Structure formats: structure tokens, C-alpha cells
């Protein structure tokens, strides 16, 4: 069995652990498993583990980025027409914009803004903010 496959099986098992007793038993199992491996097998397993850990960290960063976007928009998104922003500033549909804001899975990957699209979105919000401020100023002088 390949190190990657064995690691995936162990990760599935680890995620299913519920009690402290189960976790202690799993730790013992891991110690036995590693002790039974040759030096070369441990190196291969370590490499698979590090690759998996890096991938998990990258995925966590993406989730964090998506959550930050949602938090940033909370409080103002109810006052914005995201469909109009999508159309006017991106030439896209409302669902396209929502997919990026919410990190929806599109073609097997989470949808996200490119750095240029994120800057365009920020500029759109600044433009809308300026229009609202100008309108408020005109209203106050009527």
C-alpha cells in the first residue's frame, strides 16, 4: 500500500475519533505503525504527511480568505445590489459574483476572485460609496 493511501486511511480514521480513549488508542496504533516501518518507508510516509499538511494549510488559507470576504461584506451587503455590481462593474451575472463571495465550488474548485477582480470589486464599492455621499450632500442642501 502506498504511503499516500495509508495516510488517507489514517486521516479518515482520525477524523472519526470521538473520545479521549479512542485518541489514545490511535496514538498507540500510530507509534506501532511507525516503529514497524523501515527507515525508507518512514521517509516516504513523512513526505506524504508533509505534502498533505501543506495542502491542508493552503485549503485553510482559502477558507479563511472566503470567510474574511463574507465578514467584510456583512452589514453592507443588504444595502447593495450585488447583481447590479456584477453587471455594471464585471459584465457578469449575479451568480458569478455570489460564487466568488461565497467560495462556491465551480468546476470542482472553489470560485474566488483573482487579485485584479478583488481590486475591481473594491473600486466598485468605493465608486458606489462616492455616489451615495454625493447624493447625500445634494439632499442635505435641498
The set of cell numbers assigned to 112 is 474566488
Residue ranges of the alpha helices (H) in the chain? 3-16, 20-36, 39-73, 82-85, 94-102, 115-140
Pair 99, 111: CB distance under 8 Å? yes
Domain membership flag for residue 55: yes
Pair 100, 117: CB distance under 8 Å? yes
What burial class does residue 49 get, using C-beta atoms within 10 Å of its C-beta: 0-12 exposed, 13-18 middle, 19+ buried?
Answer: middle
Residue ranges of the alpha helices (H) in 74-114? 82-85, 94-102
Domain enclosing residue 119, as ranges = 75-142
Q: How confident is the model at residue 38 (pLDDT cuts 50, 70, 90)?
A: very high
Domain membership flag for residue 4: yes
Domain membership flag for residue 87: yes
Q: How confident is the model at residue 84 (pLDDT cuts 50, 70, 90)?
A: very high
Domain membership flag for residue 70: no
Q: How confident is the model at residue 137 (pLDDT cuts 50, 70, 90)?
A: very high
Share of the chain above pLDDT 90, in %: 61
Amino acid at each position: 500500500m502506498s504511503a499516500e493511501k495509508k495516510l488517507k486511511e489514517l486521516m479518515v480514521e482520525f477524523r472519526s475519533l470521538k473520545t479521549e480513549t479512542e485518541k489514545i488508542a490511535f496514538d498507540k496504533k500510530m507509534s506501532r505503525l511507525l516503529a514497524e516501518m523501515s527507515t525508507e518507508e518512514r521517509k516516504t510516509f513523512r513526505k506524504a504527511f508533509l505534502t498533505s499538511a501543506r495542502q491542508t494549510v493552503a485549503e485553510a488559507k482559502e477558507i479563511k480568505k472566503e470567510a474574511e470576504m463574507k465578514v467584510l461584506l456583512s452589514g453592507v451587503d443588504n444595502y447593495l445590489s450585488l447583481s447590479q455590481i456584477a453587471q455594471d462593474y464585471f459584465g457578469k451575472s449575479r451568480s458569478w459574483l455570489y460564487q466568488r463571495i461565497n467560495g462556491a465550488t465551480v468546476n470542482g474548485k472553489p470560485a474566488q476572485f483573482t487579485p485584479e477582480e478583488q481590486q475591481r470589486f473594491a473600486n466598485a464599492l468605493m465608486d458606489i460609496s462616492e455616489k451615495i455621499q454625493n447624493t447625500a450632500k445634494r439632499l442635505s442642501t435641498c
